[in-house]
């Protein structure tokens, strides 16, 4: 029976500061320090929000190494090592294990997709190669394939597979998953607008885009829930709903990059096919940030 957890509360799916020359490592260090100083519970490096899919292999490994060194063991660190190429995902996973990451976030294969049987075989192969915990990442809106509750049940007994980042948006499916996996897999929300509902389903926390912008407040939301103040947690969920919606008004991480640039943490620079946020959407985003007290 698995009762351990990688983190409880909020893990920020951290942006990767980029410019025309490449990765802006001084800004990345600044971000790691700020997030830890704000009380974040864990960091995810090189996930979707970190633009892992457009980093070169050398950059991906160096961002992982640099971020881990910057965190210096102060919080759990989670490496985005998923790919639609299982062999490459295994290579990245082995590398992240070797340098000392606490866990891996492994997304379902995008574009080539997979059957549920294929998902079981892929996740098992990656987990077999890992010496650290694996978080399965389900985000069908981006990958075109969803992990079914029965598939989680087939994977839950693997000793390295410990958790789920669930971003399917379907609370009924999440309840079904929770009923099937019990305490063998921890469930983390992958959607910032569903933190409280998923915590109410027994969730352990959230892997968050919102917490790039308001880390302390996102942690407070989870802490209120865990302390039994469900109403207080829900008030914060509602308070940050407009900002959350603005952060997803274009494809992630376009809006959060605009937000973090406005806060001085990076340039508003993304790699194609992503492009900077449209002016009309950006105006709404910046106003939402001001409305909740973020200085821009």
Residue 248 in any domain: the answer is no
d(CA 42, CA 9): 8
> Is 113 considered catalytic here?
no
pLDDT value for 273: 96
Residue 139 in any domain: the answer is yes
Residue 288 in any domain: the answer is no
Residue 142 in any domain: the answer is yes
pLDDT value for 5: 83
Q: How many CA atoms lie within 13 A of 296 on its CB side?
A: 20
Residue 2 in any domain: the answer is no
Residue 117 in any domain: the answer is yes
pLDDT value for 1: 41
Do the Cβ atoms of 169 and 138 come closer than 8 Å?
Answer: no
Catalytic-labelled residue, pool 2, 27, 101, 137: 137
Nearest to 35 by CA among 289, 277, 219, 183: 219
Catalytic-labelled residue, pool 165, 184, 224, 282: 165
- Residue 261 DSSP class: H
- Could you tell me the residue range of the domain that residue 195 belongs to? 9-228
Average pLDDT per consecutive 10 residues, the chain (296 residues; last block may be shorter): 77 98 98 98 97 96 98 98 96 98 97 96 98 97 95 97 96 96 96 97 97 98 98 98 98 98 97 97 98 95
Residue 166 belongs to what H/E stretch?
strand 161-166
d(CA 7, CA 42): 7
Tally of domains within the chain: 1
Residue 95 in any domain: the answer is yes
> Is 188 considered catalytic here?
no
CATH (domain of 206): 3.20.20.70
Residue 30 in any domain: the answer is yes
């Amino acid at each position: 029976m698995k009762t351990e957890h990688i983190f409880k509360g909020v893990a920020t799916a951290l942006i990767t500061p980029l410019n025309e020359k490449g990765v802006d490592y001084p800004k990345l260090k600044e971000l790691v320090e700020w997030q830890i100083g704000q009380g974040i519970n864990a960091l995810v490096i090189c996930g979707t929000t970190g633009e892992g899919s457009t980093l070169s292999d050398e950059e991906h490994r160096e961002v992982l190494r640099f971020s881990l060194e910057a965190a210096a063991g102060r919080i759990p660190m989670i490496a985005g090592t998923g790919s639609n190429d299982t062999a490459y995902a295994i290579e990245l996973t082995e590398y992240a294990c070797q340098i000392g990451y606490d866990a891996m976030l492994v997304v379902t294969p995008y574009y080539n997709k997979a059957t549920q049987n294929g998902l079981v075989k892929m996740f098992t192969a990656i987990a077999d190669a890992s010496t650290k915990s694996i978080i399965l990442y389900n985000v069908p809106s981006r990958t075109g394939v969803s992990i079914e509750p029965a598939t989680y049940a087939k994977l839950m007994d693997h000793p390295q597979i410990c958790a789920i980042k669930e971003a399917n948006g379907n609370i009924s499916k999440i309840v079904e998953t929770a009923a099937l996996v019990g305490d063998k897999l921890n469930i983390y929300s992958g959607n910032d607008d569903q933190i409280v509902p998923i915590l109410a389903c027994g969730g352990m926390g959230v892997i968050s885009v919102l917490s790039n912008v308001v880390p302390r407040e996102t942690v407070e939301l989870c802490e209120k829930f865990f302390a039994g103040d469900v109403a207080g947690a829900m008030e914060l969920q509602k308070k940050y709903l407009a900002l959350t919606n603005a952060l997803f008004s274009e494809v992630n991480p376009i809006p959060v990059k605009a937000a973090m640039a406005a806060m001085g943490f990076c340039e508003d620079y993304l790699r194609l096919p992503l492009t900077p946020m449209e002016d009309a959407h950006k105006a709404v985003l910046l106003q939402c940030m001001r409305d909740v007290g973020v200085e821009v």
